[in-house]
Chains A and B, each alone.
Chain A
Amino acid sequence: MGNDIFSSEALFEAWQIIKTQFPLAIWETIYVTILATVFAILIGLPLGILLVAGEKDGILPLPSWLLQILNVIINLLRSVPFLILMILVFPLTRLIVGTVVGTTASIVPLVIAAFPFVARLAESSIREINPNIIEMAQSTGASPMQIIIKVMIPESVPSLISNATIAFTTILGYSAMSGIIGGGGLGKIAINYGYYRYKYLIMILAVILLIVIVQIFQSIGTYLATKTDKRLKRK
């Protein structure tokens, strides 16, 4: 088999597939990952902030049972393997998108799988803030909402960007998995051609492209996190 991978027919066939399938697959992968990341952040960030602010000594203490429920839901969703979760959320996917197969439909399970992860990441970013800064804001007469919007979020922007990059790359990995239930993108190509039809060259190429996309987004994320961090500005 080893010789077949690079045989002239295999190379020709691979080139055909690259030309016809890869541009759309790359676009689908990026589109699904970005949309899923955005939705996961929209749900996960406020949740992560709430986990910190809502603590007993926090700036906006929540009833402890409510905090407990939030934590349980997050841990529960994070424990379910993504492959199983995709199937479990079929009813919800159908409700929102109208169908359970296809690229857009794969965004729903991705968001459900990613937002608890994003909430934990956001929680850790917010916890990095020096508590004395929060005390300063309180002593200055800031309301809990003002502390969240003017202190907690802006002060943790570099860390939030780093963590958003981690979330993005993780979701990219998940989105490849969603190829199994008909989600589009590079993952689907890798599975359909590589796994089902033994066209390993295609699979390897798809994986290399995924690696390149991860590299690009990680570099952008690291650059932005460093660039926005005013603590790194030296004299």
Chain B
Amino acid sequence: MIEIKNISKRFNTADGIVEALNNVSLSIADGDIFGIIGMSGAGKSTLVRCINMLERPDSGTIEIDGCDIGKLSERKLRTVRRDITMIFQGFNLLMQRNCLKNVCFPLELSGVKKSEAKKKALELLDIVGLRDKAKAYPAQLSGGQQQRVAIARALATNPKVLLCDEATSALDPTTTNSILELIRNINEKLGITVVIITHQMSVVESICKNVAILDGGEVVEQGTVSEVFTHPKSKAAQNLVFPEMESGSAIINKAGDRIIRIVFNGASATETPLIARMAVQKGIEANIAYASTKSINGKVYGSMLLGITGDKEVVKSAIDYLTRTSDVMAQEVENYG
């Protein structure tokens, strides 16, 4: 259980004082996959670095399983950090060590015997599917493979919490999905609590159970993912759900229409477009109010907002129809204006 209570953090920069975090409180349950989403500069990175005290908050406390880690000595803190490991946007592997030695790194630090460390590291490389790359150097691996090695390294000390700082932001959508799949597996099999920092809606939607939206250093909304994304109340949440609104162009929509948000997360593209098929087969006409999708290797990623004229029943059957396709999520959204 991670209990973040009223933390604030300011930075003195050349442009004056920047309030990175302002009275942030969150509680993250054991075994959760918790997303913290926000635009760049919202304070996400500072917040996640407070959880392992890489940044010390100016005020407030962080308790992990009831232990106030802000009060610990540097030495104690280093031991605690073995329980709260981290993966990064840039993978941060040691470039002069091979994969096996990279995974051994945290074990070396904690004084585990070489032979034992090697055995454990090989097991972990197996889990992330890279046992055959044990002797390869990071420069010889793709981004996705490097992140897998970083995950294996983060698991080496049997942590309770895994912090992911924009861990998939440098990866393409297909690789992102496979890394998220791996993280989900780890969460389920090993029961590790996962905290995911991201600016990508798709990441939160595909893996997180709970989410907090960070804006200007404050938590503006939090709850379960479906709750927050179907009833976005704050401006920041609405900007995430309706990205067009931010740029000023209004959503083309008839008054009284209900809005469905569809997320394509690697669904196979078909010859007849999904929306057209729905109109033909179900007789539900949808007005595409907003769409931002792209096709990569025959798989579709992105999101769409549909305006549908009709009552709750029509919307429900539309959602049922749309979600029958695998890797497509659809939900009705409120508060879009």
| A residues whose Cβ falls under 8 Å from a Cβ of B | 130, 132-133, 135-136, 138-143, 146, 150-151, 154-155, 157-158, 228-235
Within 8 A of A (CB), among B93-134: 94-98, 105-106, 108-110
Is there contact, CB below 8 Å, between A135 and B54? yes
A154–B137 CA distance with the chains assembled, in angstroms? 14
Q: Is the interface of A mostly helix, strand, loop or mixed?
A: helix
A133–B163 CA distance with the chains assembled, in angstroms? 16
Tell me which residues across on chain A come within 8 A of B105, comparing CB atoms: 140, 150
Mask of B148-165 contacts with A, CB within 8 angstroms, 1/0: 000001000100000100
Tell me which residues across on chain B come within 8 A of A158, comparing CB atoms: 96
A53 → chain B, closest Cβ, in Å?
A: 15
Is there contact, CB below 8 Å, between B54 and A139? yes
B85 → chain A, closest Cβ, in Å?
A: 7
Tell me which residues across on chain A come within 8 A of B94, comparing CB atoms: 133, 151, 154-155
A150-B96 contact given A130-B90, A141-B82, CB 8 Å threshold: no
B279 → chain A, closest Cβ, in Å?
A: 48
| B residues whose Cβ falls under 8 Å from a Cβ of A | 52, 54, 75, 77-82, 85-86, 88, 90, 92, 94-98, 105-106, 108-110, 137-140, 153, 157, 163
A183–B262 CA distance with the chains assembled, in angstroms? 82
Tell me which residues across on chain A come within 8 A of B90, comparing CB atoms: 130, 132
**Which of A135, A136, A157, A233 is close to B137, meaning CB atoms less than 8 Å apart?**
A233
Tell me which residues across on chain A come within 8 A of B163, comparing CB atoms: 139
Tell me which residues across on chain A come within 8 A of B77, comparing CB atoms: 141
Is there contact, CB below 8 Å, between B137 and A230? yes
**Which of A135, A136, A231 is close to B96, meaning CB atoms less than 8 Å apart?**
A231
Is there contact, CB below 8 Å, between A136 and B54? no
A140–B82 CA distance with the chains assembled, in angstroms? 6
Is there contact, CB below 8 Å, between A154 and B81? no
Is there contact, CB below 8 Å, between B109 and A135? no
A139–B86 CA distance with the chains assembled, in angstroms? 7
A118 → chain B, closest Cβ, in Å?
A: 21
A139-B109 contact given A133-B92, A235-B140, CB 8 Å threshold: no
Is there contact, CB below 8 Å, between A139 and B140? no
Is there contact, CB below 8 Å, between A230 and B95? yes
Is there contact, CB below 8 Å, between B81 and A140? yes
Is there contact, CB below 8 Å, between A142 and B95? no
Can you list 8 A-B pairs, Cβ within 8 angstroms, ordered by A?
A133-B95, A135-B88, A141-B82, A155-B94, A155-B96, A157-B96, A230-B138, A233-B140
**Which of A132, A142, A233, A234 is close to B92, meaning CB atoms less than 8 Å apart?**
A132
Is there contact, CB below 8 Å, between B110 and A141? yes
A133–B105 CA distance with the chains assembled, in angstroms? 12
A132–B108 CA distance with the chains assembled, in angstroms? 20
Is there contact, CB below 8 Å, between A136 and B88? yes
Q: Can you add 13 more A-B contacts, CB < 8 Å, to A139-B86, A142-B78, A234-B140?
A: A135-B88, A138-B54, A140-B81, A141-B82, A141-B157, A143-B109, A150-B109, A154-B94, A154-B96, A230-B138, A231-B137, A231-B139, A234-B139
A142–B92 CA distance with the chains assembled, in angstroms? 15
Tell me which residues across on chain A come within 8 A of B81, comparing CB atoms: 138-141
A157–B97 CA distance with the chains assembled, in angstroms? 12
A233–B98 CA distance with the chains assembled, in angstroms? 11
A155–B137 CA distance with the chains assembled, in angstroms? 13
Tell me which residues across on chain A come within 8 A of B85, comparing CB atoms: 139-140
Tell me which residues across on chain B come within 8 A of A232, comparing CB atoms: 139
Tell me which residues across on chain B come within 8 A of A142, comparing CB atoms: 78, 109
Is there contact, CB below 8 Å, between A233 and B139? yes
B67 → chain A, closest Cβ, in Å?
A: 15
- Most-contacted residue by chain B among A135, A143, A158, A228 (CB, 10 A): A135
